[in-house]
Chains A and B, each alone.
Chain A
């Protein structure tokens, strides 16, 4: 049996100072079924009794001898019951403390999971998109880094949008405005660099678009936005355009569409090849790891495709910037930024206001 002293160490940590309260909880605790009030009584009396009985048992003086003989066995029986009850109480207390310790560990685990999920969910436009939390936490450090960096990228993006808005409404000159345009373009190119690194860590993750909001995912094409879509979004906001500009943008749109189509068809073929590689000789005696290895090699091609798609995005942005004047380019960048911001806001609003069936 454990001594009382070891039991009281956890008590102190828990900060429970009321034995009565404690005993009530132990009583509630599933296990031994002696009811609390009786134990309390018994416990309270235990201390008293032990002192009295030690007198009584050790040295029966003549004074008590005759009176003690009849109640002696009752006393002995009572003592035994007390000891038993105390023992059970100590066992229950021990079990309760153990349960508390387990709960504490579980709580720490849950807090860590929540923190991880928050980082994944929150680092998309600063809003918690429920669909993000559905992604089971990744332990891939490359991806964890990417998510963190992407969160900061979005924050910086929002700042730049706001700065650009102010700049366009002020009367700053073209030279200064050009600086805003260039830093805006560089910010997008930074994202493509981040994505290239992340693709080497986990290309499936990048292609899934889980790092973006749901509405952005809806428009997803090979790991990001569609370049041809970009032009369509921007065009109305760039007016007035010169005839040459209009022609150049039209040609750019067509080239972009053709390049996109070619990459899309290439992707379809890759899709097919990977599927065939995985599905080949399922029931054969071939080495399982050889089959997996063959499919693994194909994934390198996927990384190249994502890189190619990002390259197309970058080129499209650069071409647009070359065709337009500084002021037009600034308006275009602002429109683009606000477009993506709207998609992110739409996602977070949608996920936090569930539709009710009417």
Chain B
């Protein structure tokens, strides 16, 4: 879906979320802990929310939210993010976007 592709390419780290979704909130907390500040797009506040939801599900996100994009590519939902993190593969992906230590 065009909107998804556009948003994903414009933002280093993008999370599609719903304002009431607590797993989305958990993923955001994790990213904060890892010193990155993702763009969060609440699809329940988007008039095209329903289409975005369907498109995300077609792309394989079972949630359908949270749907995490890093560097324009779909990483996945909570499961994928957690697996990546535990295997040590998430931080390398986030490195380019991490806030520098002052």
A positions within 8 Å CB-CB of B = 248, 251-252, 255-256, 258-259, 261-263, 265-267, 269-270, 273, 301, 304-305, 308, 311-312, 315-316, 319
* A-B contacts, 29 listed (Cβ < 8 Å): A252-B86, A252-B88, A255-B88, A255-B90, A258-B85, A259-B30, A259-B82, A261-B29, A261-B30, A261-B33, A262-B27, A262-B33, A263-B26, A265-B26, A265-B29, A266-B25, A266-B26, A266-B29, A267-B22, A267-B26, A269-B25, A273-B20, A301-B22, A304-B23, A305-B22, A308-B79, A311-B78, A316-B86, A319-B87
Which residues of B have CB within 8 Å of A316?
86
Residue B5 is within 8 A (CB to CB) of chain A in the complex:
no
The 5 closest A-B pairs by CB, nearest first: A266-B26, A262-B30, A270-B22, A262-B29, A262-B26
Contact, CB under 8 Å: B87 / A311: no
* Cα A262 to Cα B78 with chains together (Å): 11
* Cα A114 to Cα B86 with chains together (Å): 45
Which residues of A have CB within 8 Å of B30?
258-259, 261-262
* Cα A265 to Cα B30 with chains together (Å): 10
Which residues of A have CB within 8 Å of B23?
266, 301, 304-305, 308
Contact, CB under 8 Å: B83 / A315: yes
Which residues of B have CB within 8 Å of A251?
88
B positions within 8 Å CB-CB of A = 20-23, 25-27, 29-30, 33-34, 78-79, 82-83, 85-88, 90
State the Cβ distance, B91 to closest chain A Cβ, in Å. Answer: 8
Contact, CB under 8 Å: B20 / A259: no
B22's nearest neighbour on chain A, judged by CB, is: A270
Main secondary structure on A side of the interface with B: helix
Contact, CB under 8 Å: B86 / A259: yes
B21's nearest neighbour on chain A, judged by CB, is: A301
* Cα A248 to Cα B34 with chains together (Å): 18
State the Cβ distance, B97 to closest chain A Cβ, in Å. Answer: 17
Contact, CB under 8 Å: B34 / A258: yes
* Cα A21 to Cα B100 with chains together (Å): 95
* Cα A185 to Cα B34 with chains together (Å): 30
Contact, CB under 8 Å: A265 / B25: yes
Which residues of B have CB within 8 Å of A255?
85-86, 88, 90
Contact, CB under 8 Å: A258 / B79: no
* Cα A252 to Cα B87 with chains together (Å): 7
Interface centre among A251, A252, A262, A301 (most CB of B within 10 A): A262
State the Cβ distance, A252 to closest chain B Cβ, in Å. Answer: 6
B63's nearest neighbour on chain A, judged by CB, is: A304
